[in-house]
Structure 1
Amino acid sequence: MTQTTYAAAWVPSGDPARSLDAAAELATAWVLLQAKALGTKPVLVTENQAQWSLGPDAIRKFAATSDTVTSRGKKPSGHGRAVLAYLPRYRDMYRALPYARDGALAVVEFGSDPLIGWAMETHAVNLEDDQTTLETWTPPQRSLLEYVHRNGNNGWANGFGAENAASQLRELIAGGVDQDIILGFMVARGHDEESLERLAAIIKEIL
C-alpha cells in the first residue's frame, strides 16, 4: 500500500507527438485547481530560473503567480501546498516533496530522470488520459522494494545496507522490475540524488 500523503499527477515524457507546451498546460491547470481547493498559493519547482522565462507560456504565467523553488534563492515555507515540478531532476523532486506533503504534486517528466516508479507508488493520474498509473510489481516485489528502501537509511553507502540492497536488487531485476521503476520508487520514498546515484551504481554492477 502506498504511503503517499499527497494527490499526485504527471505528464510522462514518452509521447513524441505531445509538445512541452501541451504538457505544461495540462500540469498547470491541474495544480491551479488543487491550489484553489487547498486554499494556498501554488509552488513551482524547477532546476533553474531560466525555465521560468524560457519555457512554455503556461510556465511563464505560472511562475509569475506562484512561489518558486530552485537550488538557489529564498525558499517558501510550509507544506500542504499545490506543487508543480517542471522537468525535474531527481534532486528537484527531493526539494518538491516537503511542500507537497498533505497537498498535491504534479510533474512534467524529464526523460533523463524517469519517474514511472514514482507515478506507480503515488498512483499518479496521467493527465493525458486521466487514468491512474497502476503498479506493475507483484506483492513480493513490493516487499523487496521496501527492503531496498529500508537498507538505504545511510544512502546505500558501502557496508551492510549496500550489500543487502544488492541481493534484493538482483531478485527485482531478474523478475522484470527495471532501474527506472526502482529509482522512481525511491524518489517517492524521499531519497536524495546522491543516494540514488549510489543505488544506480549498485544496479549497474548487477547488470
Structure 2
Amino acid sequence: MSVRIEYRAAWVPFGDGQTPERVALAVDWIERECAEQQTTGVAIVSRKGDISGYSAPLREFSARHEVTTRRGSAPKRRGPGPVLAYNLQFDDLGYAERLAHGSSLCATEWPDVPMAGWAAARGALNLVTGEVTSRPADDVVALLNNLSLAGNNGWFDEPGKRDARRLLGELRAAAPDLDAAYLVSYQVGLGDVSADSVKHLLGLANKIHNR
C-alpha cells in the first residue's frame, strides 16, 4: 500500500442526483480554499472533451481555474493546491489526491463509485449536511486498518487473500450494515489503492456479503 496522502477533505454525496445546486456546493468550497491559500484550483474530470456538457457551476469554475483529466495535460500551477474531483473513478481520485497533497480536495459522488467509506476514512466534511463524516465504531475501524495492512500487495498474493477473507468476514459480523462498497471505499481513503486492487477487493467483499 502507498503512503497516505494528506489533505483537507470534503464531499458532496450523490443523494437524488448531482444537481447544479449540489455541484455548486463543491465549487464554492474549493473557491474558498483557493482564496485562503492564495492559489488557483484544478478540477479533475473523467473525460475532458467539450466542457459545455458539464454542469453550469463546473463550467463557471473552468473559466477561472483549470480543468484536466488523469491522462490530460498537467496543471499549469506550481505545486499542490485545491482540487475538485468531479464524479471520478477511484484511479482518477488517486491522481487528484496527489495534486491536492498538503492542500484541499472536494469529491462529488456518483452511483458507480460510492464515496461514503472514503469520506469516513478521511473525516471529510459533508457539504450537504455541514457535518464531518463520522467513522464507524473503534473495533470496526481497527478491522478496517488491519485490512489495509493486509493489502500491501493489493490482496493478490495468498497471504493477502487469506487475511482479506478473514477480516472481511469479521467486518461482516461486526458491522452488518456496512456493505462491500463502503468497506472498499474506506480502503481507498486510507491510502492510494490501484484500480485493479479495488476491483479485486470488491470481488472478495461481495463474495463474503452474498453468502
Tell me: CA distance 1:166–1:99, structure 2 relative to 1, closer, same or farther (3 Å): same
Matched with 1:190 is: 192
Matched with 2:44 is: 45
Letter in 2 for 1:200: L
1:151 is aligned to 2:150 = yes
Q: What pairs with 1:131-146 in structure 2 (closer than 5 Å)?
A: 131-135=131-135, 137-146=136-145
Asked if the contact 1:53–1:60 (Cα under 8 Å) also holds between the matched residues in 2, the reply is yes
2:10 aligned counterpart, secondary structure? strand
CA distance in 1: counterparts of 2:121 and 2:79, whole angstroms:
20
Matched with 2:162 is: 163
CA distance in 2: counterparts of 1:79 and 1:191, whole angstroms:
22
**What is the CA deviation profile of residues 7-51 of structure 1, one whole-angstrom value per residue up to 9, with x for unaligned ones?**
11111012x2x6521111110010011011112210101100137
Tell me: CA distance 1:71–1:102, structure 2 relative to 1, closer, same or farther (3 Å): closer
**What is the CA deviation profile of residues 151-187 of structure 1, one whole-angstrom value per residue up to 9, with x for unaligned ones?**
1111111311111111001110222232122111111
By how many angstroms is 1:78 displaced?
5.5
Matched with 2:108 is: 108
1:74 is aligned to 2:73 = yes
Of 174, 186, 207, the residue aligned with 1:205 is 207
Letter in 2 for 1:30: W
Moved over 6 A (4+): none
Please list every run of 5 or more consecutive structure 2 residues that lacks an aligned counterpart in the other structure: none
Please list every run of 5 or more consecutive structure 1 residues that lacks an aligned counterpart in the other structure: none
1:50 aligned counterpart, secondary structure? coil
Tell me: CA distance 1:122–1:78, structure 2 relative to 1, closer, same or farther (3 Å): farther
TM-score by length of 2: 0.88
By how many angstroms is 1:71 displaced?
3.2
The alignment's C-alpha RMSD in Å is: 1.8
By how many angstroms is 1:72 displaced?
2.1
CA distance in 2: counterparts of 1:87 and 1:57, whole angstroms:
15
Identity percentage over the alignment?
27
Aligned residues: 202
1:9 aligned counterpart, secondary structure? strand
Matched with 2:92 is: 92
Asked if the contact 1:43–1:83 (Cα under 8 Å) also holds between the matched residues in 2, the reply is yes
TM-score by length of 1: 0.90
